[in-house]
Amino acid sequence: MASSDVMVHLNQKALRLLQDDAGKIEKLIAIQMENLATRKCPLYEEVLDTQMYGFSRAVDFAVRAGLVEESAGKQLVSELERNLALLYEALARKEE
């Protein structure tokens, strides 16, 4: 495998792993929201903040290591934030 092929493979693998992590965070938050009666629970907010911080640090590392383009990293974080906002809105509607 040529050096550029190795980098492409590593980039693709890093993106897949980060996308998998984002999916796991979404599932964790969805489960938390189903089990908690309200989205205003401090535990929910702490879990969300901790998970988002950890994910953003992992993305930052991948970008700094050259495994993920900065624009792709920002897109991953934005997509996760957007998906979590949708989950949050769905719970708000459910509470009404």
**CATH classification of the domain holding 76:** 1.10.287.750
Based on the structure, what is the number of domains in the chain? 1
DSSP category for residue 69: -
Given a cut of 80, whether residue 15 has pLDDT beyond it is yes
Alpha-carbon distance of 69 to 59, in angstroms, equals 10
Longest dimension (CA), the chain: 57
- What are the C-alpha distances in Å from 44 to residues 3, 26, 72, 78? 44, 13, 28, 20
46 or 78: which leads in pLDDT: 78
Tens digit of pLDDT for each residue in 20-39?
Answer: 999 999 898 888 777 765 55
pTM over 0.85: no
Burial (CB count <10 Å: 0-12, 13-18, 19+), residue 40:
exposed
Residue type, 19: Q
Alpha-carbon distance of 48 to 66, in angstroms, equals 27
Tens digit of pLDDT for each residue in 49-84?
Answer: 899 999 999 999 999 999 999 999 999 999 999 988
Residue carrying structure tokens 């205003």: 40
Domain around 16:
1-95
Tens digit of pLDDT for each residue in 60-69?
Answer: 999 999 999 9
